[in-house]
Structure 1
Amino acid sequence: MSTEELPPRESMEFDVVIVGAGPSGLSAAIRLKQLNADLNVVVVEKGSEVGAHILSGAVIDPAGLDKLVPDWREDADCPLKTQVKDDRFFWMTGAGAIKLPNFIMPPLMHNHHCYIGSLGNVCRWLARKAEALGVEIYPGFAAAEVLYDEDGKVKGIATGDMGIGRDGKPKDSFTRGMELLGKYTLFAEGARGSLTKQLIGKFALDAKSEPPKFGIGLKEVWQIDPAKHQKGLIQHSFGWPLDMKTGGGSFLYHYDDNLVAVGFVVHLNYDDPYLSPFDEFQRFKTHPAVRGTFEGAKRLAYGARAITEGGYQSVPKLSFPGGALIGCAAGFVNVPRIKGVHNAMGTGMLAAEHVAAAISADRANDELVEYENAWRTSSVGKDLFLVRNVKPLWSKFGTVLGVALGGFDMWCNTLFGASLFGTQSHAKPDRATLDPARQHTPKAYPKPDGKISFDKLSSVFLSNTNHEEDQPVHLKVTDMNLQKTSEHDVFAGPSNRYCPAGVYEWIEEGSGPRFQINAQNCVHCKTCDVKDPNGNITWVPPEGGGGPNYEAM
Structure 2
Amino acid sequence: MQREAMEFDVVIVGGGPAGLAAAIRLKQINAEINVCLIEKGSEIGAHILSGAVMDPRALTELIPDWQAQGAPLETAVTRDRFAFLTQHGFVDLPVMLLPGCFQNHGNYVISLGQLCRWLGAQAEALGVEIYPGFAGAEVLYDDKGAVRGVATGDMGIGHDGQPTANHQPGMELLAKYTLFAEGCRGHLGKQVEAKFGLRAESDPQTYAIGIKELWEIDPEQHEKGLVMHTFGWPMKSDTYGGGFIYHFGENLVSVGLVVGLGYKNPFLAPFEEMQRMKTHPQIAPMFKDGKRLAYGARALAAGGLQSLPKLDFPGGALIGDDAGMLVASRIKGSHAAIKSGMLAGDAAAAALAAGRANDALTAYPEAFRASWLYDELHTARNFKPWMAKGLWTGSLMFGIDQVLLRGKAPWTLHNTADHLKLKPAAECKPIAYEKPDGVLTFDRLSSVFLSNTNHEEDQPCHLQLKDASVPIATNLAIYDAPEQRYCPAGVYEILREDDGNNPRLQINAQNCVHCKTCDIKDPTQNITWVVPQGGEGPIYTQM
TM-score range normalised by the length of the shorter chain: over 0.9
1:121 deviation in Å? 0.3
What's 1:404 paired with?
396
Residue among 226, 235, 246 paired with 2:228? 235
1:413 deviation in Å? 4.3
Conserved? CA contact 1:15–1:41, under 8 Å = yes
Q: What is the DSSP-based 3-state SS (H/G/I as helix, E as strand, rest coil) of the residue aligned with 2:61?
A: helix
Q: Deviations over 1:354-399 (max 9, x none)?
A: 1000000000000011212221221111111101111101112x10
Q: Deviations over 1:463-497 (max 9, x none)?
A: 00000110000000111112211111000000000
The CA RMSD measured in Å over matched residues stands at: 0.9
Residue among 282, 292, 297 paired with 1:304? 297
1:117 deviation in Å? 1.1
Residue among 484, 489, 493 paired with 1:505? 493
- Return the alpha-carbon distance in structure 1 between the equivalents of residues 493 and 213 of structure 2: 24
Residue among 95, 98, 108 paired with 2:101? 108
- Return the alpha-carbon distance in structure 1 between the equivalents of residues 58 and 459 of structure 2: 39
State yes or no: 1:461 paired with 2:453: no
Residue among 527, 542, 548 paired with 2:517? 527
Segments ≥4 residues shifted beyond 4 Å? none
Counterpart code for 1:366: D
- Return the alpha-carbon distance in structure 2 between the equivalents of residues 264 and 443 of structure 1: 17
- Return the alpha-carbon distance in structure 2 between the equivalents of residues 403 and 548 of structure 1: 35
What's 1:67 paired with?
61
Q: Deviations over 1:287-325 (max 9, x none)?
A: 000000011100000000000001010000000000000
Conserved? CA contact 1:162–1:174, under 8 Å = yes
Q: What is the DSSP-based 3-state SS (H/G/I as helix, E as strand, rest coil) of the residue aligned with 2:256?
A: strand
Moved more, 437-446 or 129-138: 437-446
Q: Deviations over 1:228-249 (max 9, x none)?
A: 1100001001100000100000
Q: What is the DSSP-based 3-state SS (H/G/I as helix, E as strand, rest coil) of the residue aligned with 2:342?
A: helix
1:505 deviation in Å? 0.4
State yes or no: 1:161 paired with 2:149: no
- Return the alpha-carbon distance in structure 2 between the equivalents of residues 168 and 345 of structure 1: 38
Q: How does 1:430-445 map to 2 (within 5 A)?
A: 430-445=418-433
Change (3 A) 1:88 1:354: same
Q: What is the DSSP-based 3-state SS (H/G/I as helix, E as strand, rest coil) of the residue aligned with 2:273?
A: helix
Q: What is the DSSP-based 3-state SS (H/G/I as helix, E as strand, rest coil) of the residue aligned with 1:472?
A: coil
Residue among 288, 312, 317 paired with 2:310? 317
Conserved? CA contact 1:386–1:413, under 8 Å = no
Counterpart code for 2:79: D
Q: Deviations over 1:129-161 (max 9, x none)?
A: 000000000000000000000110000000000
What's 1:152 paired with?
145
Q: What is the DSSP-based 3-state SS (H/G/I as helix, E as strand, rest coil) of the residue aligned with 1:480?
A: coil
Aligned residues: 541
- Return the alpha-carbon distance in structure 1 between the equivalents of residues 369 and 272 of structure 2: 38
- Return the alpha-carbon distance in structure 1 between the equivalents of residues 404 and 68 of structure 2: 38
Q: Deviations over 1:22-70 (max 9, x none)?
A: 0000000000000000000000000000000000000000011110111
Counterpart code for 1:473: C
- Return the alpha-carbon distance in structure 2 between the equivalents of residues 418 and 234 of structure 1: 28
Conserved? CA contact 1:390–1:407, under 8 Å = no
Q: What is the DSSP-based 3-state SS (H/G/I as helix, E as strand, rest coil) of the residue aligned with 1:299?
A: strand
Q: What is the DSSP-based 3-state SS (H/G/I as helix, E as strand, rest coil) of the residue aligned with 1:336?
A: helix
Q: What is the DSSP-based 3-state SS (H/G/I as helix, E as strand, rest coil) of the residue aligned with 2:298?
A: strand
Q: What is the DSSP-based 3-state SS (H/G/I as helix, E as strand, rest coil) of the residue aligned with 2:295?
A: strand
Q: Deviations over 1:161-210 (max 9, x none)?
A: 00000010000000000000110000000000010000000100000000
- Return the alpha-carbon distance in structure 2 between the equivalents of residues 373 and 350 of structure 1: 9
Conserved? CA contact 1:221–1:299, under 8 Å = yes
Report percent identity of matched pairs.
56
Moved more, 506-515 or 465-474: 506-515
Conserved? CA contact 2:484–2:494, under 8 Å = yes
Conserved? CA contact 1:275–1:498, under 8 Å = yes
- Return the alpha-carbon distance in structure 1 between the equivalents of residues 469 and 172 of structure 2: 36
What's 2:47 paired with?
53
What's 1:488 paired with?
476
What's 1:452 paired with?
440
What's 1:3 paired with?
none
Q: Deviations over 1:404-434 (max 9, x none)?
A: 21122012443xx6215x10011x2111100
What's 1:99 paired with?
92
Q: What is the DSSP-based 3-state SS (H/G/I as helix, E as strand, rest coil) of the residue aligned with 1:73?
A: coil
Q: What is the DSSP-based 3-state SS (H/G/I as helix, E as strand, rest coil) of the residue aligned with 2:376?
A: helix
For structure 1, the 5+ residue unaligned runs are 1-6
Conserved? CA contact 2:101–2:329, under 8 Å = no
State yes or no: 1:20 paired with 2:14: yes
Conserved? CA contact 1:165–1:470, under 8 Å = yes
Counterpart code for 1:246: T
What's 2:189 paired with?
196
What's 1:338 paired with?
331
Change (3 A) 1:71 1:413: farther
Counterpart code for 2:33: L
Q: How does 1:467-486 map to 2 (within 5 A)?
A: 467-486=455-474
For structure 2, the 5+ residue unaligned runs are none
Conserved? CA contact 2:245–2:255, under 8 Å = yes
What's 2:269 paired with?
276
Residue among 314, 322, 340 paired with 1:347? 340
Counterpart code for 1:308: A
Moved more, 177-186 or 400-409: 400-409
What's 2:378 paired with?
385
Conserved? CA contact 1:347–1:375, under 8 Å = yes
Q: What is the DSSP-based 3-state SS (H/G/I as helix, E as strand, rest coil) of the residue aligned with 1:405?
A: helix
